Amino acid sequence: MIRGNALLRLFAVPVAALILGFASVGLAIQQQGRAVDSLRALALLRQEVATGPAGQADRLLVKGESVGLAQSALQALVIDHLAAVGLTPDRLDPAPAEVGTPLTRLPLALAFAGTEQQVMAALVALDTAEPLLRIDQVSMDGQGVEGGIVQADVALSAMAAGVAP
């Protein structure tokens, strides 16, 4: 009987530690399951916000804390869309912003040259861009240019919200 108690005392601590270890692993697995469920719920909420009116406005407006930053973001967006079709702008001329409440209009004039396919692809890319770009005027000239190159002059504008002057 003394010997049984000694073995019981000898194995009691490791068995207790093992039980606590299994309990900890089980609790961690439960917490991981809850975390995964929370992440899924958060992803659904983000999707709902992105498709709601506020999310759509956020996607369609140029971002920037000031007019200068918003104009820079607009110019970067235009350069990226032109680069996607293999073009670079010959000229980028931002006009003074038309500050209003709650929106500020950011006009931009640009010129670029390329093949007819590149110019048309660039115009389509600008017309379907997000944030939303409004193409106000387009003029193209291909007469007298060798090799089928077309020169395009475009006046466009975008809107920004909450920008400081």
End-to-end Cα distance, the chain: 89
Asked if 7 and 44 sit in the same domain, the reply is yes
Summarised one tens digit per residue, pLDDT across range 88-110 is 999 999 999 998 778 899 999 99
Q: What is the reported pLDDT for 82?
A: 95
Same domain for 123 and 68?
Answer: yes
Q: With respect to residue 67, please indicate whether it lies within any of the assigned structural domains.
A: yes
What one-character DSSP code corresponds to residue 9?
A: H
Looking at the structure, do residues 78 and 141 belong to the same domain, yes or no?
Answer: yes
pLDDT tens figures, 21-35? 877 887 778 788 777
Contact 52, 59 (CB under 8 A): no
Same domain for 102 and 132?
Answer: yes
The pLDDT tens digits of the residues spanning 43-60 come to 777 766 656 666 677 778
Examine the domain organization and report whether 17 and 72 are in the same domain: no
- Residue numbers of the domain that contains 81: 62-161
Q: What is the pLDDT of residues 115-130, one digit of tens each?
A: 888 999 999 999 998 8
User: What pLDDT is recorded for position 141?
Assistant: 87
Domain membership flag for residue 57:
no
